[in-house]
Amino acid sequence: METRIVFHIDFDYFYAQCEEVRSPELRSKPVCVCVFSDRGGDSGAVATANYTARKYGAKSGIPISFAKKRLEERKDAVFLPVDFDYYTEMSEKAMEIIKNNADIFEYVGRDEAYLDVTKRVEANYKNASHLAQQIKNSIRDKIKLSCSIGISPNKLISKIASDFKKPDGLTVVEPNKIDAFLEPLKIRVIPGIGKKSEKRFSEMNLETIQDIKKLDVFTLNKEFGRKSGTYIYNAVRGIYNEPVKEREARIQYSKIMTLKKDSKDYQFLSENLTELCKEVHDVVKKNNRMFKSIGIHFVQSDLSNKSKSRMLRNPTLNLNELQKNATQLLKEALENQTITIRRLGVKVTELSEVQGQSDITNYF
Ligand code: DGT
Ligand code: CA
Ligand code: CA
């Protein structure tokens, strides 16, 4: 088998670090970046916290009020609202540097990416770790951000390795060190293994990756289903063959069509819209994304444009929900429509990664 060299790059405490870059006086303080809910007060959750705040137990996902309690003794603790536009801008700058150092660049989310660098480092691990160090230096010099990088022959091990030593880590796992690296680790380091599977393993008295290796593939398949069972069986052995696939950062998926005839008839338009939704949904699903905002777009017969969109309560990847909302928007848009429509489009924005264990093998 030809051997590849894959990087996983993950920015450290990303939102909170962006805030530190903007306001360097925050660096010495505990910082929590919060999604305040519209109920007001301290209701809402912490999106992320810097490492000073984490020492006190403030971290992603906990209620803001808990974080405040845990940080009570730190009078200098700072709680800031999220500013996604600013984080996106920071991310774009850093990703530009990263992209220029990759043979194949795969964007995963605002704060992480996979790179295949096999060609440019001539499949040599020493060259690879030099390259990684250069990327880290360059992102630090130009954007003032720190990141952690994992290097190995595949995406799975590199992802685990980037998380191994944080912040500002660089972890290289050469092919002959894979077993030694993985075996002592807790099984939850494997992407897709959540609290639920961890608990099941723990009931069988299995804690580390080494422990899981005692299970044969039939037992795992019986316990987790064939797809997930096989994934886990391979993962604990460091086997994961999905290649790094070219993928750019994206803020929307959309599809627009010219109608067979200009029209303002709801029935005719909604049939076309339903089909468009299906096409957009296929692409979104293939890219493992969820969306939170849905929009429709008209090019009218006089070539003027009209659009309408709405924000959902929660991110979704459900086709039905997309179609339902899009046709609802269509109905509203047609309410006082005088001119006919020539082209019809649908788009989804506010994208996020699909997370959780709904399909473990779709994790990457
Ligand atoms: P780390 O561990 O140094 O990589 O820390 P982060 O904060 O970069 O954590 P990571 O890579 O898991 O997530 C990247 C960003 O995603 C993070 O800055 C905020 C956001 N995020 C992560 N977990 C949550 C969560 O539970 N809720 C919300 N709203 N956002 C989250
Ligand atoms: Ca991160
Ligand atoms: Ca991340």
Give nearest CA residue, ligand 1 atom 21.
Answer: 47
Residues less than 5 Å from ion ligand 3, measured at CB: 10, 111-112
CB of 24 within 6 A of ligand 1: the answer is no
Using CA atoms, how far apart are residues 320 and 168, in angstroms rounded to an integer? 43
Respond yes or no on whether the N-terminal peptide bond of residue 167 is cis (omega within 30° of 0).
yes
Using CA atoms, how far apart are residues 229 and 227, in angstroms rounded to an integer? 6
Total residue length of the chain:
364
CB of 167 within 6 A of ligand 1: the answer is yes
Q: Is the pLDDT of residue 323 over 80?
A: yes
Q: Is the pLDDT of residue 16 over 60?
A: yes
In order of 193, 259, 261, the CA distances from 265 in angstroms are 49, 12, 11
Ligand nearest to the CA of 60: 1
Q: Is the pLDDT of residue 36 over 50?
A: yes
> What pLDDT does residue 360 have?
56
Using CA atoms, how far apart are residues 250 and 254, in angstroms rounded to an integer? 11
Closest atom of ligand 1 to 16 CA is: 18
Residues of the chain above pLDDT 90, percent: 87
CB of 132 within 6 A of ligand 1: the answer is no
> What pLDDT does residue 344 have?
97
Tens digit of each residue's pLDDT (9 = 90 or more) over 63-80: 999 999 999 999 999 999
Of residues 360 and 153, more confidently modeled: 153
Q: Is the pLDDT of residue 100 over 90?
A: yes
Tens digit of each residue's pLDDT (9 = 90 or more) over 352-364: 877 644 455 545 5
> What pLDDT does residue 364 have?
52
CB of 10 within 6 A of ligand 1: the answer is yes
CATH 3.30.70.270 in the chain is located at 1-9+87-249
Identify whether the C-beta of residue 158 lies closer than 8 Å to the C-beta of residue 8.
yes
Tens digit of each residue's pLDDT (9 = 90 or more) over 130-150: 999 999 999 999 999 999 999
CATH 3.40.1170.60 in the chain is located at 16-84
Largest Cα span, the chain = 70
If you measure from the C-alpha of residue 13 to the centroid of ligand 3, how many angstroms do you get, rounded to a whole number?
9
In terms of Cβ atoms closer than 10 Å to its own Cβ (0-12, 13-18, 19+), residue 195 is exposed
Paired with 348 in beta bridges are 253, 294
- Which CATH number is correct for 253-353, 3.30.1490.100, 3.30.1360.30, 3.40.50.2020, 3.90.230.10? 3.30.1490.100
Under CATH, what is the fold of the domain 1-9+87-249? Alpha-Beta Plaits (3.30.70)
- pTM higher than 0.85 for the full model? no
Please give the single-letter amino acid code of residue 180.
A
Class in CATH terms, 16-84: alpha beta
Identify whether the C-beta of residue 61 lies closer than 8 Å to the C-beta of residue 46.
yes
